[in-house]
Structure 1
Amino acid sequence: MADKCDLCLLGLIILSSLLTGISGVEDHVFISSGENVRLSCNNALPDCKSKTTWTYSNSFRHSGTVGLITGGIKKKDTERHERLSLESDCSLNIKNVTEEDYGFYICQQWINVYGRDQKQGSDADVYLHVLHVSVSPSSSSSSSSSSSSQTEISPGRSVTLSCQLYSDTGFSCDDWVRSEGVELLWVNQAGVDLKTDSRYQISSSSDQYRCIIITLTTTLLNEDNNREWRCRLTHRNQLKTSVRYTVKYSGISGVDH
C-alpha cells in the first residue's frame, strides 16, 4: 500500500512539473518612449546567463519570431542589438525604448540533459506596451511630426499633441482596452482632466498599430509659455506611465517623461 502511495505522489509531482512548464507567467509592462525598461524572466537558474533565450514577436512588424538572445549571447543582426543587455537574474534591459519596441517577449531557460537541450520551468511571457507623444503645429509646412517643427510654436498658433499607445496583445485592441481597463488622459499640471476646459479639443481613436490615440488641440496663448500638459496612462485605475509636454516659446519645446 505504501508503495502505491509513493507511486501516486511521484505521479502528481511529475504532472505538476509538466503543467508548470506549459503554463507561462504573463506580464504587461507599460513604458514611455525614450525611457529604459527591464523585462523580468521568472524561474531563473543559477548561472542563468548561459542558459537563457529571449525572443520577440510582433504580428504587425514581423512575419515570425525574432531571436534576441540565445544561450545568454546577444544576436548581432537584430536592429536593437546595441540597446539590449542581459542581467545576472536573466532579465532583459532595453535602453532608450522606441515605439517600434512594442510587442511580445518570451524568456525561456534551457539546460543540457544527457546531451540534449531541455526547457526548464515555465516561460516568462511579457507584453511591452509603449506610450509615445508626437507634436504637430498646424502652421508647420511639414506634413509629418518632428522635433524641428516645434521651433515654429508661438502664441496665436494652433498645436496638436498626439498621445499614442502601441500594443500587440494578439486580441482586438478595443476588447483588450475594455477588459483591462486601460485609459489615456490629458491633464494639466494640477492633474485636472483637460476635457473639462473648453479651450482644448480632445478626441480619441485607434488604428492597426496603436490601441489608443488621444489628441489634444489648442490655440496657444501668451501665458502658455512654460505651461505643462501631461498624457497619463492608467491600467485598472493605477498610473503606469506618463509623458509631459512643456510649451517653450524660446525656440525649442520639449517632451519629457
Structure 2
Amino acid sequence: MAGAPRDQALSLLAAANNHGDLAVKLSSLKQAKDILFSLDPSSAVDLFPYLVELQSSPETLVRKLLLDLVEEIGLKAMEHSSVLMPVLLTLLRDDDSAVAKQSIVSGSIIFCCVLEEMTLQFHRHGKVERWLEELWSWMAKFKDAVFAIALEPGSAATKLLALKFLETYVLLFTSDKSETEAPVAEGSRRAFNISWLVGGHPVLDPYSLMSEANRTLRILLNLLQSASSLPSSLTITVVNCMLMSSV
C-alpha cells in the first residue's frame, strides 16, 4: 500500500515528538529518516512540517539529530527543503551551544551546496528556478544570523564556528585566478570558485559578491584589532581566517 510507509513515518515522527523515553525518540526519528529517504521527495515533503516541530524538543540529542536530518535533506532533496530551513535559524539561537554549533555546521554545508547549484543552473539554462531562489533567500538569512553571532557576546565555542563561516564566506567570494573559469560538470563536486560566476543574475553578480567578501574581511580585521578583548581561542581563529583569506 502506497500510504503505509508514509503512515509509518508519521507515527514514528509522533513518537519522536511525544514519547517520554529519549531512546525511543531517537530510534523513532532515525527510523522515520530511513522511510523518508525511501520515498520520492515529492511524496515525503508534506511530512517535513512534522520534522520542524522537533525543533522545540526539550532533548538536546533530538535537536542535534534533527539538524543532521535537515542537512541530509538539504543535500539530497534540495528542491523540497525550503520548509526545513527555519529550523537552522531557530537552532542557531539554541540555549545548548552543542546544538547552536551543529546548526552553523549544517547550515554552512547547505549554504555552499545551494550556491553551487544556483551557479550550475544559471550556466546550463541561463536562469535559476524559483524554488532555488527561495532556498537562497533562506541562506541569506542564515548568513546574516551567523554574522551576528560572530560579532556579539556569547559562547566562545559558538562564536568560533561563526568566525569560521565568515572565513568560508570570504574564500567563496574572493577571486582565485589560478582556477578554471568554468563550473564543474554535472554530478561532480569541487570547491566553488567565484570565477564560475557571470553577470546577468541579480544574486549571482560577482562584483557585488566580491565587494561583500571584502567587507567581511574588514570585519575580521576589526576583530583582530580588538583582539585584547577576545578570548585567545577566538583571536587565533581570527588570525587563521585572515591568513587563509590572504592566500
Aligning the two structures, in what range does the TM-score lie when normalised by the shorter sequence?
Answer: under 0.3
- Give TM-score scaled by structure 2 length: 0.26
Larger RCO: 1 or 2 (CA < 8 Å, sep 6+): 1
Q: Quick check: which has more Rg, 1 or 2? A: 1
Whichever structure has more strand as a proportion of its residues is 1
Whichever structure has more helix as a proportion of its residues is 2
